[in-house]
């Protein structure tokens, strides 16, 4: 079994109002990763992904270069990259603002 890893991300550019979170969840599910993402007031999308290290690498490339079809990614920063013994989440979720 591959080592488990966790990493935080922040994506800059045109990433709100273009289904970026929906596509991020679909990609995370496809890669069997868990975590969450949400829109931020500064018009970025932030989140956490956890899972197999090789799948995290694939997700990082996707967040930096691909995103949703209508998004325009300017940059993506990663922080808090660490090994974990087990994941903290059971699935990948989209955090939405409370109405």
Task: Name the residues annotated as catalytic.
Answer: 21, 39
Please compute Rg for the chain using Cα positions. Answer: 13
Q: 43 Cβ partners below 8 Å, 6+ apart?
A: 15, 16
State phi, psi for 37 to the nearest 5 degrees. Answer: -145, 160
Cβ proximity of 78 and 5 under 8 Å: no
Place of tokens 């599910």: 29
């Amino acid at each position: 079994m591959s080592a488990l890893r966790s990493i935080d991300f922040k994506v800059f550019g045109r990433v709100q109002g273009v289904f970026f979170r929906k596509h991020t969840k679909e990609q995370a599910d496809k890669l069997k990763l868990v975590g969450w993402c949400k829109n931020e007031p500064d018009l970025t999308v932030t989140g956490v992904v956890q899972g197999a290290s090789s799948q995290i690498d694939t997700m990082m490339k996707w967040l930096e270069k691909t995103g949703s079809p209508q998004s325009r990614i300017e940059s993506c920063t990663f922080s808090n990259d660490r090994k974990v013994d087990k994941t903290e989440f059971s699935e990948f979720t989209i955090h939405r603002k409370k109405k």
